Amino acid sequence: MKRKLFFILFFLFILNASAQNQNSKNTKTSESKVSQKNIKSSKNNEYNQNMNVELQKEPMYPQGEKALYEYFYYNIKYSDEAKAKKINGEVIVSFDVAIDSTLKNIQIFKRVGFGIDEEIIRLLKPLKYAPAIQNDVPVKMNVVITVPVRADH
């Protein structure tokens, strides 16, 4: 009797293992098909992502970075106190370039004081920047620049 029970359990075990093995093969086949689709989809996404990178342009000052810094250098009006103390340093300023090329939300992150921070804001307000471009569409984007300050010249 114990032998019959053993053989029945053994037979059920083998049958169960065989069914699991068959199910595993079917799952692997369907996973392989899904995986191949994902690879193709992934390649398309990689291609599209690379295209987005190529199509994206950062906001920029149209005359170039050198011209922007020359604009600050020649147009900053230092207060008498800043000149007397020969203030040197840098002002870090953040602003949004709107899709209409105007500068919005101008904020100073690092100040030097003596009215210089306000002077930099005054000089930034009338400037026009080329807006950022993503997928051939102008978009608003934040810019952070560092403006050198030399009140000793």
For 25-38, what is each residue's pLDDT tens digit? Answer: 554 444 444 444 44
Q: Which of 25-34, 73-82, 109-118 has the lowest mean pLDDT?
A: 25-34
User: What is the Cα–Cα distance from 61 to 95, expressed in whole angstroms?
Assistant: 13
Alpha carbon of residue 78 to chain centroid: 36
73-86: buried (b, 16+ CB within 10 Å) or exposed (e) per residue? eeebebbeebeeee
DSSP string covering 54-68:
HH-B--B-TT-HHHH
CA-to-CA dists, residue 21 to 27, 29, 34, 35, angstroms: 10, 12, 20, 20
Alpha-carbon dihedral 132, 134, 136, 141, rounded to 10 degrees: -20
**Model confidence at 47, in pLDDT bands (50, 70, 90)?**
low
